[in-house]
Amino acid sequence: MIQVHDLHRHFGGFRAVDGASLTIETGSITGLIGPNGAGKSTLFNVIAGVLPPTSGRVVMDGEDISGLAPHELFHKGLLRTFQLAHEFSSMTVRENLMMVPGAQAGETLLNTWLRRGRIREEERALRKKADEVLEFLTISHVADEKAGNLSGGQKKLLELGRTMMVDAKIVFLDEVGAGVNRTLLGTIGDAIVRLNKERGYTFCVIEHDMDFIGRLCDPVIVMAQGKVLAQGSADSIMQNEAVIEAYLGT
């Protein structure tokens, strides 16, 4: 689905991503691991259009998508989750979900005005979809809760839920497990697996928790110092000498 060819992203003279090449297969849950500072988040940001590459190419289903803006990638079904924006924290969980397609439609005042007769109907459909998403993620009980009051793990589920309000094909998750308790991390893992199996989502997941990576991800790609160091099953990665050295060396 995604091919990254010799990608570079430099900051001044510093090579955060230094010639990374990798493939994300359609239908996979691909893990991306590596020591802090390896360039994982920068790689995600370049693939998702948040940062332009210094050089190199990103190809999605045969089409060169290098340097496209996030909203263009969003329309192609390539999504990167973000922490909930501060201004959404006073809205309810359901409202947060209902906001997603509107943002995608690129609505102008004019077309809102032209379509106002249909808005009630559309709102009902959106509400129904939001409730289905919450049920899928097993967080229906917080639908009317303010998003700002959710626990860290519930916020992660809501971020995942936002991708379900549109037709995502591939979702990039950066450190899903950070600050999330064990139980909710399990729930998030289950949601990822079900989205993969039942909805055909492809995932690329950055996570430090190797139990989580080992349970979910195949293959696992290891980055160090801006380059891809190894790729394979979680088990083979853990026994790879270069990988062990990269972790011990930092």
- Write out the residues near Mg ion by the rule CB under 5 A: 41
Ramachandran quadrant class, 77 (left: phi over 0; alpha: psi -120 to 50; beta: rest): left
Single out the residue of 7, 52, 3 nearest to residue 227, CA to CA. 7
CB of 206 vs Mg ion, minimal distance in Å: 6
How far apart are alpha carbons 31 and 138 in whole angstroms? 24
CB of 107 vs ligand ADP, minimal distance in Å: 32
Q: Which of 2, 28, 31, 41 binds ligand ADP (CB under 6 A)?
A: 41
Q: 167-182 burial, b if ≥16 CB within 10 A, otherwise e?
A: ebbbbbbbebbeebee
Judged by CB under 6 A, does residue 11 bind ligand ADP?
yes
Judged by CB under 6 A, does residue 42 bind ligand ADP?
yes
Rounded (10°) angle between helices 116-136 and 93-105:
130
* Residue 82 contact, options ligand ADP, Mg ion, none, Cβ 5-8 Å cut-off depending on partner type: none
By beta-carbon proximity to ligand ADP, the closer residue of 137 and 213 is: 213
Judged by CB under 6 A, does residue 34 bind ligand ADP?
yes
Contact present, 169 and 74 (Cβ < 8 Å): no
Judged by CB under 6 A, does residue 40 bind ligand ADP?
yes
Q: Which of 13, 36, 109, 121 binds ligand ADP (CB under 6 A)?
A: 36
Residues in contact with ligand ADP by the rule CB under 6 A: 11, 14, 16, 34, 36-42
